[in-house]
Amino acid sequence: MFVKRSGYLLLALGLLGIFLSLGADFIGIGKKGIQAAQFLGAQVGFIVLLCGVALIIAQRRGNLQPNRFFDGHKNLIDEQPLIIWIVAGFLMAYLIVFIIPTFLDSRLQFQYFYRYLPDNVNLGLDTRSITKYLKLWLIDGKSPYLDNIIFYPPLYNLLMAPIVLLSYPTSYYFLLVVGIISYFGLTFILPVLFTPKRNMSILLFFFLTGIFSYGLVFELERGQFNLATFFLCLLAVYIYHYHEDFRFFAYLFFSISVQLKVYPLIFIVMFVKDWRDWKNNLLRMAGLGAFNFALLFILGYSIFVDFVRSTIAQITQVGAYTWIGNHSIKAFVFNLSKDGLGLLSGNSLEWVRQYSGVLEFLLLVYVVVCFVSIIVGTYRRKVQGFNPYLLVTCTIGAMVIPSVSHDYKLAILAAPISILFCSLAVPQKKSNRTWLFLLVFLASFAYSSTLYPFKYRPEIIANSMPLLLVILLSITIAYHLQMNSREVVEQVQERQVD
């Protein structure tokens, strides 16, 4: 009855709106002649009238029962596949970070591709720097760490030495091809191998959206090799868990990735199959750690000292923290204390400046707590084998913990997120399923926001660090939510057996 009355009310309001709009001249309102505002009023009235008619018809046929309507839509939400919530998060980011800054700009100018990346005269800035310092070492006989620009481990110089044989731009083209091949292997091939019972729609979503991402374009434009490094690291993890006879190659590939870029060292915890086998786990980690430490001396003690000095200089160099494209915790806190990121001022900004060290420490604790809680949860529930939640946690740790972590490293994020979402088991319990979908939506939105340049994001998320911490918190809560469900634990264990 309430619905039927509402229908008649809307019908009456619609008719009244049409009459008042078109008959304004007869009652002496406004200018003579039918104006644009009157047409608008009549159109709105007609829409209201149609809504009223629809409610009356639906109520007469018994098709509209409010309780059943809302219950049905609630069930519709719970029954949607996971990809819907991943895409919903992507579309939210698309609206906020692309549509609004591009088409609703106050200057009424389309400038999305204007200064898409930080200024650089020629392609391959990092490739040219790499080649310069390799020549300094190979040809001039000087330390490759002479002026503290390069801070990659000593073995990197041996591994990358052949690039000196190529002149620019051939050297850049070579690393460009390596980067593209690595992206394909990292974001498509390895997720397929990691998730035999895969959801191809999710896998292809991350692969295809990542192709056009800001992080990948930045990586390729600079001639960097994060993709190749992370591909070796993730390949090592795959071999360790799924091809035990070839674990020697897993340790070798992992060590090479660590010697190319130090940050893959955090993934040493991925070389654990049973967390309760603590003795063998400690021996394995100690062995890998000792081996990689020994490799730091491969060019001699003096080069090792130069490497340490250059690394310390990079950590303490203030200039690396001043630009918004460094998404480390240290850089975020530095910029927050400098100008408040457009959000803080006055006493609140002074408080952040006074306690910036404490804030940086608390954010590091935040990352460590999420990291440790997943390990502890895995240990308590006796879950064995590859853990995609821990993989994402390690990836985010590798991105935010080093003091210098530029935005081209964002390109490595697609693979672990894709593997995790392809591995998710949806709980049968409705409340758990709803919470999981919400967390997936939140993580998808945060990840999708990193696909766009920092200059088009709202100021609070222009630096990618808050987005990365949102992903971290979302997947940590999702992990514990899933592990509290016996049915989900059983599904995970079945996948590991397969």
> Which percentage of the chain shows pLDDT scores above 70?
86
What is the spatial distance between Cα 225 and Cα 202, in angstroms, rounded to a whole number? 26
Confidence check: pLDDT of 229 > 80: yes
Instruction: Compute the average pLDDT of residues 6-12.
Output: 83
What is the spatial distance between Cα 482 and Cα 440, in angstroms, rounded to a whole number? 12
What is the spatial distance between Cα 132 and Cα 371, in angstroms, rounded to a whole number? 38
Q: Which amino acid is at 423?
A: S
Confidence check: pLDDT of 122 > 90: no
pTM (2 d.p.): 0.84
Confidence check: pLDDT of 326 > 50: yes
| DSSP state at residue 428 | S
Most confident option among 124-138, 144-158, 355-369: 355-369
Q: How many CA atoms lie within 13 A of 239 on its CB side?
A: 16
For 380, the token pair is: 């308590």
Instruction: Compute the average pLDDT of residues 53-79.
Output: 61
Instruction: Compute the average pLDDT of residues 345-362.
Output: 85
Contact 229, 257 (CB under 8 A): yes
Confidence check: pLDDT of 38 > 80: no
Q: Measure CA 236 to chain center.
A: 22
For residue 73, the model assigns a pLDDT of 47
- Please state, rounded to an integer, the average pLDDT across all residues of the chain: 84
For residue 221, the model assigns a pLDDT of 86
Instruction: Compute the average pLDDT of residues 212-238.
Output: 92
Where residue 124 falls (left for φ over 0; alpha for ψ -120 to 50; beta otherwise) is left
Q: Measure CA 443 to chain center.
A: 8
Distances in Å between the alpha carbon of 313 and those of 208, 298, 403? 38, 22, 11
For 410, the token pair is: 């964002």
For residue 76, the model assigns a pLDDT of 52
Produce one character per residue of 441-453: b if its CB has 16 or more CB atoms within 10 Å, e if not: bbbbbbbbbbbbb
> Which percentage of the chain shows pLDDT scores above 90?
32
Which region among 60-74, 382-396, 424-438 has the lowest average model confidence (pLDDT)?
A: 60-74
pLDDT in tens, 335-348: 888 877 777 777 88
Distances in Å between the alpha carbon of 176 and those of 101, 184, 228? 30, 13, 11
Compute the C-alpha angle 214/216/221, nearest 5°. 95
For residue 406, report the phi and psi dihedrals to the nearest 5 degrees: -80, 165
For residue 30, the model assigns a pLDDT of 60
Instruction: Compute the average pLDDT of residues 420-433.
Output: 80
Compute the C-alpha angle 179/181/186, nearest 5°. 90
pLDDT in tens, 440-458: 999 999 999 999 888 888 8
For 434, the token pair is: 């709803």
What is the spatial distance between Cα 253 and Cα 282, in angstroms, rounded to a whole number? 20
Q: Band the pLDDT of 151: cuts 50, 70, 90.
A: confident
Confidence check: pLDDT of 69 > 90: no
* Beta carbons within 8 Å of 374's beta carbon, 6+ residues apart: 387, 389, 390, 393, 476, 479
Produce one character per residue of 377-389: b if its CB has 16 or more CB atoms within 10 Å, e if not: bbeebebbebbbb
Confidence check: pLDDT of 399 > 90: yes
What is the spatial distance between Cα 261 and Cα 267, in angstroms, rounded to a whole number? 12
Q: Band the pLDDT of 33: cuts 50, 70, 90.
A: low
Instruction: Compute the average pLDDT of residues 19-42.
Output: 71
Q: Which residues pair with 326 in a beta bridge?
A: 406
Query: What residue segments make up the domains of the chain, in order of their start?
Result: 2-64, 82-102+116-497
pLDDT in tens, 276-291: 888 898 999 999 999 9
Helix (H, G, I), strand (E, B) or coil at 299: coil
For 22, the token pair is: 């078109």
For residue 141, report the phi and psi dihedrals to the nearest 5 degrees: 75, 20
What is the spatial distance between Cα 255 and Cα 288, in angstroms, rounded to a whole number? 8
For residue 195, the model assigns a pLDDT of 84
Nearest to 362 by CA among 387, 336, 386, 384: 336
Contact 269, 390 (CB under 8 A): yes
Confidence check: pLDDT of 2 > 80: no
Nearest to 311 by CA among 268, 261, 360: 261
What is the spatial distance between Cα 423 and Cα 199, in angstroms, rounded to a whole number? 8
For residue 116, count other CB atoms closer than 10 A to its CB: 15
Q: Band the pLDDT of 108: cuts 50, 70, 90.
A: low
For residue 391, the model assigns a pLDDT of 95
For residue 358, count other CB atoms closer than 10 A to its CB: 11
Instruction: Compute the average pLDDT of residues 269-280.
Output: 90
* Beta carbons within 8 Å of 369's beta carbon, 6+ residues apart: none
For residue 326, report the phi and psi dihedrals to the nearest 5 degrees: -95, 110
For residue 103, report the phi and psi dihedrals to the nearest 5 degrees: -105, -15
pLDDT in tens, 71-88: 544 555 555 677 887 888
For 18, the token pair is: 């049409």
Produce one character per residue of 89-106: b if its CB has 16 or more CB atoms within 10 Å, e if not: bbebbbebbbeebeeeee
* Beta carbons within 8 Å of 8's beta carbon, 6+ residues apart: 52, 56
Confidence check: pLDDT of 97 > 90: no
Q: 456-459: long-range contacts (C-beta < 8 A, 24 or more apart)?
A: 456/97, 456/98, 456/101, 456/102, 456/112, 457/96, 457/97, 457/101, 458/96, 459/341, 459/342, 459/343
What is the spatial distance between Cα 224 and Cα 202, in angstroms, rounded to a whole number? 27
Q: Band the pLDDT of 101: cuts 50, 70, 90.
A: confident
pLDDT in tens, 458-492: 888 888 999 999 999 999 999 988 877 655 555 55
| DSSP state at residue 342 | G
Tell me the helix, strand and coil percentages in the chain, rounded to 5.
75, 0, 25
Q: Band the pLDDT of 63: cuts 50, 70, 90.
A: low
Which region among 2-6, 134-138, 164-168, 271-275 has the lowest average model confidence (pLDDT)?
A: 2-6
